Amino acid sequence: MPTFIRPQAVGFAGDVKAIAIDAFSDSEILTAVKNGSGNLELIAWRCGPADTDATRVSDSGSQAGSIGEVKLSLIGRMAITAVRDGNGNLFMILWDRARRG
């Protein structure tokens, strides 16, 4: 008997070239992307088990520069991004993600 995978929730953030994703919990998701401008951007999402939309709750803005590719890992409330910067070198950033009410 086949198993079907159905979407539970969706969210949109515009043009991206590279994507990494991880979850703080069953309702807090973090994406690290190379945005349409070629820069690193972290986007926090909230999506409860019964929700049908993933809600964008915050992002890193323009704090980081141009990247080639991105990897993401979480340790507790800290996010770690490892990217290939605009010069092709490894650039690692530790991000604090404080819990919001």
Q: For residue 5, what pLDDT is reported?
A: 64
Q: pLDDT by residue (tens digit) across 52-77?
A: 788 889 888 878 888 989 999 999 88
Q: For residue 47, what pLDDT is reported?
A: 86
CB atoms within 10 A of CB 31: 21
Strands (E), 1-101: 16-23, 28-35, 40-46, 55-59, 67-75, 78-85, 90-96
What is the mean pLDDT of each successive set of 10 residues along the chain, which is 101 residues long?
A: 67 85 91 92 86 85 86 93 90 79 49
- For the entire predicted model, the pTM comes to 0.81
